Structure 1
Amino acid sequence: MTLSTEPARPGLATRLKKAWDSDIAWSFRHSPVAMIAAVMTVVLILAAIFADRIAPQNAFDPAALDLLDAYTRPGEAGASSGTVYWLGTDNQGRDLLSAILYGSRVSLFVGFAAVFFSVAMGVALGLVAGYVGGRTDAFIMRVADIQLSFPAILIALLFFGVARGLIAAANHEQMAIWVLIVAIGLSNWAQYARTVRGSTLVERNKEYVQAARVIGRPPFVIMLRHVLPNVTGPVLVISTINLALAVIEEATLSFLGVGVPPTQPSLGTLIRFGQQYLFSGEWWILFFPALALVLLALSINLLGDWLRDALNPRLR
């Protein structure tokens, strides 16, 4: 009989207690702003995910709309249905609360997908540039420098326009969201590439990387299994903040009429529709979608600011 010399793995309760006592958890518990922002972010995301279950109305089903309930003020009952609309209705009798829930789902989907795309592209290029170096590093960084010299919204507009020109007109609405995701993602990859490249330049000369080279590990394996886990801290912070920027960028493009199609409206599309009625007395058609966008972006930004401070040892 042989006795195992491997230490026993800690149980779930032990791991949870260790996580609860960590520096990040302590910082979170002692930051009221972070806790409020986290609660707001979770509530808004869950409300968007389960919009079809909690929304009073399918806001984008024409059969569910009643034109006689159009322009109902917040908190009043519709003239035809008698239903109380807590945030009012628009010019088609659409419940604004339901429209905001469904629109937030589209905005968040575009934001998360665009951030995922930009993170994947930027981290990959940053790893290659920092680890390989030489002309490869110079070429990738010069492309990143050129892109960073232009506002992200202009880059997104450029890519969006080029993609729309390459896609058949009949497929514009079906492909609009995916084109928007790629356009926003391509406008934000350079930040991740520069950050990861700088961290990789430091990590590639450390002893654990040298040891991996000595035992014959391929460069791809070294970058993926050894270097990447040690450069993800700054990426997490940037991606959290960029999520709010991606949602705002999507809203800006949709407000300009080049984003999400009217058949799948987002918060930006609702704001674009609402601004037509701002000076005619129906202020709520613009105000509540804009308020939802501000709360969503603000809560994510505050959470990203806290995460940046919590992961920075100089600020502890």
Structure 2
Amino acid sequence: MSDVTDATRQGPKPEGRLEAAEQVRPSRWKSIWDSDIAYSFRRSPVAMVAALVTAILVLSAIFAPLVATTNPFDPSSLNLMNGFTPPGADNAFTGESFWLGTDDQGRDVFSTILYGMRISLFVGAMAVLFAMVLGIGLGLLAGYVGGWVDSVIMRVADVQLTFPSILVALLIFGIARGLIPIEHRDQMAIWVLILAIGLSDWVQFARVVRGATLVEKNKEYVQAARLIGRKPGAIMFRHILPNVLSPVLVIATISLALAIIAEATLSFLGVGAPPTQPSLGTLIRIGQDFLFSGEWWILFFPAVTLLALALSVNLLGDWLRDALNPRLR
């Protein structure tokens, strides 16, 4: 009897308590599923459809060599006899059929869209990343240091805002191509395009980060970091930067759609991706030449793909902006 009483007084073993605590503690996936952002995503049909469309297009572009029927930019895979085949119809000479038809060179339009979308996504993502790094750095510097540094950076930003971004990108693209030797222009065209779009879009990142930095630098945690001897660079990037990233992520998502459209615009004007690496804008420019001769599919399907990609990414950015806004919760 005494043994039973002692065991009752001692209570459950520590191992049992740990197992019970582990059962009560929610898993990481459960915590993510129950978060405010996940709840907002589940309550927004538009966001779910936009995310699905974006995922399908991005994955199709990434795995284009596996999804596409042929490599449309491999000269050995081309057959000029397949040129101008309508969507779903059999070619009169070869008997082959293609889902979305072929262009003037006999290239499968479906395959050209997948490979062209890879170029558009790569240029858009790299341009936004470059603009984000440049804008965040200048915005932190302007907001934290202030004085003449802030005045110079913000006046440059104000001057650039007076011009349309596409004109700024055209100017930068023209200057950069003029400095590159002729034999290397096609090889460097994609990187010049990234530089041009990135330099035309850094201003919005810098202005948002500067405004947030002006608020954060007067808070107590920044003053405490100064008192313990933290250097300005460490304070900006290790203390202030994590607290100003929320609006930056929203701007980056929306800017991705704008960068893809800017790349398509430049390529449509003939100053973007080279003919050896055509993007969606280049495909649209090629299709325009045959629109009024009856080969509408060469223009229609790349244009619809560009519209779906830009619209879905833009809708995701709008949802993310509302989800991260504490006033709307």
What TM-score comes out, normalization by structure 2 length? 0.92
Q: Is 1:154 aligned with 2:167? A: yes
Alpha carbons 2:85, 2:97 under 8 Å: kept? no
- The 1:285/1:11 distance shift into structure 2, 3 A limit, reads farther
> Which structure has the larger Rg?
2
> Using a 3 Å threshold, how does the CA distance of structure 1 residues 39 and 149 change in structure 2: closer, same or farther?
same
User: Which letter maps to 2:78?
Assistant: L
Q: CA deviation at 1:14?
A: 2.0
User: Which residue number in structure 1 is paired with residue 60 of structure 2?
Assistant: 47
Aligned residues of 2:100 and 2:108 also touching (Cα < 8 A): yes
Q: Which residues of 2 match residues 197-216 of structure 1 at below 5 A?
A: 197-216=210-229
Q: Paired residue for 1:168, among 181, 184, 189?
A: 181
1:279 pairs with one of 274, 285, 292 = 292
User: Which residue number in structure 2 is paired with residue 186 of structure 1?
Assistant: 199
Q: List per-residue Cα deviations over 1:160-180 (Å, max 9, x = no partner).
A: 000011000110000000000
Tell me: CA distance 1:165–1:11, structure 2 relative to 1, closer, same or farther (3 Å).
farther
* CA shift in 2, pair 1:159/1:37, >3 Å: same
Pairwise CA RMSD: 1.5
Residues 266 and 13 of structure 1, relative CA distance in 2, 3 Å threshold: farther
Letter in 2 for 1:15: R
Offset from partner CA, 1:150-194 (integer Å, 9 cap, x none): 100000000000001100011000000000000000000000000
Matched, 1:301 2:314: yes
In structure 2, what residue type is equivalent to 1:230?
N
In 2, the alpha carbon distance for the partners of 1:274 and 1:53 equals 25
User: In 2, distance between residues paired with 1:226 and 1:11?
Assistant: 34
- Asked whether 1:19 is paired with 2:56, we answer no
After superposition, residues 13-162 of structure 1 pair within 5 angstroms as: 14-162=27-175
Identity of aligned residues (%): 68
- Deviations along 1:180-225, one digit per CA (max 9) or x if unpaired, are 0000000000000000000000000000001100000100001011
Distance in 2, Cα, partners of 1:273 & 1:293: 15
Task: State the shift of 1:81 in Å.
Answer: 3.8
CA distance in 1, matches of 2:225, 2:181: 49
Question: Structure 1 residue aligned with 2:247, among 222, 229, 234?
Answer: 234
Q: CA deviation at 1:313?
A: 1.1
